[in-house]
Structure 1
Amino acid sequence: MSPIFDWLFQQYEAVPRHIVILEIIAVILALASAWFSKMDNILIYPTGILSTAIFVYILAYYGLLGDLIINAYYFSMSIYGWYIWTRKVDAEHYTPITITTPKEKKISLLIFVATLLFIYIIYEIFEKWTSWTAYVDTLTTALFFVAMWLLARKKLENWLFLLVGNVISIPLYFYKGLIFTSFQFMLFVVISIYGYRAWKRNLNIPETSLLN
C-alpha cells in the first residue's frame, strides 16, 4: 500500500473489524440522509435514524461522550422531524420550507446556550476536559443541536448551522482517528452549500409529495 494510505488508516490497526465496517455503513447512511435532506425527501429520516443508532454504538466504543450525546440527540430529533415533515397543513399539502421567525430565532439561541451549559456540566461530571477537542466538541454540539431542531421544523437556516459545524468537524474527527467520518464531513460541507441553495429556491412552496 502507498505511504499516504498507510498513514491515513494506521489508526484503525487496533480497532475491531466490525467497528470499522459499522463506521463505513453509518457514514454511507449519513451521506444518504444528507442527500435526501437536500432533496427535501422524507427518506432523510429512516436513513438518518439508522446512521445515528450505529454511531451511538461506535462512539460508545471509542468513549467519545460529546459525540455520543450529539448522535443520541439526532436520533430523538429525527423522530420529531419525521412527525413534523409528514404533518399536513391542509388536505393536500405538507409542511413547507420556511425561514425562521423571530420567536424561532430566540428558541435557537436558547438551544445553543443551553447546550453549551449542558455539555459543560456533563464534561465536568465525567472529567472530560482532558484535551482541546473537548472545547471544540462543546461548540460543534451546540451548533448541531440548533441545526437539527431547525431541520426538523424545515427551516432554511438549518443549512448555515450545519455548514459551520461540518467545516469544524473535518479536522476534529481526523484528529480523533475516525478517518471515514472525517471524509464524511467533507462531503457534508458540499451538501450543505447545495442544500441551502436548493431549499432557498423552494421557500414557501406548497408540497404535495414527500418523495421528491
Structure 2
Amino acid sequence: MTEFLFSTAFSIWGLDTSWLEFIAVLLAFAMILCNIVELHWGWPLAAISSVLYFFLFWTQRLYGDALLQVFFAVLAMWGWSVWLRGMDGEPLPITRMPPRQRVTLAWMGTLLWLATGGVLLNFTDTDVPWWDAFPTAFSLVGQYLLAHKRLENWAVWIIVNIVAAGLFAWKALWLTTLLYLVFIALSAVGWRTWASRTKADPA
C-alpha cells in the first residue's frame, strides 16, 4: 500500500505527482467546498487528508507542516463535534470576532510562529524553518476560528494559503501548490458567502 501511494500517478511537464499527493489534494478540495456551504462532512474529509499530508510533508522535510497535520486531524474531529452539536441545541451561527479578540489571536499566532520556527531551526534539518513555521502556526488559528464559525477564519486562510503556496512551489510539490492557489480563490468565495450569512455577535 505504501509503495502504491508513493508511486507516480501522473507527470506534468516532466514533474511527477504521487498517488499520495493526488488523493490528499482531492480530499482537501472537497473539504473546503463543504466548509463554504457549511456542510459538516468537510471535517472528516479534513482528518483523512491531514493523515495523508503528514506522510507527504515528512518525506519533504517539512516537519512543521507535517506535525501540523497531526493537530489538524485531532482538531477536525473536535470541529466536527462542534458543528454537529451547535449551541444550546441550535445550529452554530456564523459570527464576527470582537476587535479585542482579533488582536489577541494575532499576537498568539505570532508567538506560536516564533516558537515553532525556533524549534524547527534548532532541532530539525529543515532548510526552511521560518517559512515552514508560519503556515503551521497560523493554520491552527484559522482552524480554531473555522470550528467556531468566525467569519475572519477566511482572512486567515487567505494569508496562510499565499505563504504555503510559495513554500510548496519551492519544494516542487506542484499539484499541492496549484491546490493552494485554488484555496486562495475559494477562501475569498468563502468570505463573501459567509459574510452574507453573518449574524451580529453579542460579545
Q: How does 1:104-115 map to 2 (within 5 A)?
A: 104-115=101-112
Amino acid at match of 1:161: V
Cα distance in structure 2, aligned partners of 1:118 and 1:193: 29
Equivalent residue for 2:115? 118
**Contact kept? 2:62, 2:132, Cα under 8 Å:** no
Cα offset, 1:58, TM superposition: 1.6
Equivalent residue for 2:164? 169
Identity of aligned residues (%): 24
Q: Which has the higher contact order (CA 8 A, sep 6+)?
A: 1
Cα offset, 1:107, TM superposition: 4.5
Equivalent residue for 1:150? 145
Root mean square deviation, CA, Å: 2.2
Count of residue pairs the alignment pairs up: 190
Unpaired segments of 5 or more residues in structure 2? 1-10
CA deviation map 1:87-136 (0-9, x unaligned): 23234x21111111356335413530332233123213424463xx3222
Amino acid at match of 1:117: L
Give the TM-score of the pair, scaled to structure 2: 0.84
Give the TM-score of the pair, scaled to structure 1: 0.81
Residue 45 of structure 2 is aligned to residue 47 of structure 1: yes
Amino acid at match of 2:13: D
Q: How does 1:1-212 map to 2 (within 5 A)?
A: 5-7=12-14, 9=15, 12=16, 20-91=18-89, 93-102=90-99, 104-128=101-125, 130=127, 133-204=128-199
Cα offset, 1:45, TM superposition: 0.4
**Contact kept? 2:50, 2:69, Cα under 8 Å:** yes
**Contact kept? 1:59, 1:65, Cα under 8 Å:** yes
**Contact kept? 1:66, 1:119, Cα under 8 Å:** yes
Segment drifting more, 149-158 vs 162-171: 162-171
Which 4+ stretches in 1 moved above 6 angstroms?
Answer: none
Cα offset, 1:176, TM superposition: 0.3
- More strand as a share of residues: 2
Cα distance in structure 2, aligned partners of 1:124 and 1:204: 42
Unpaired segments of 5 or more residues in structure 1? 13-18, 206-212
Cα distance in structure 1, aligned partners of 2:104 and 2:54: 26
CA deviation map 1:136-182 (0-9, x unaligned): 22222222121111111110000001001112222221110211100
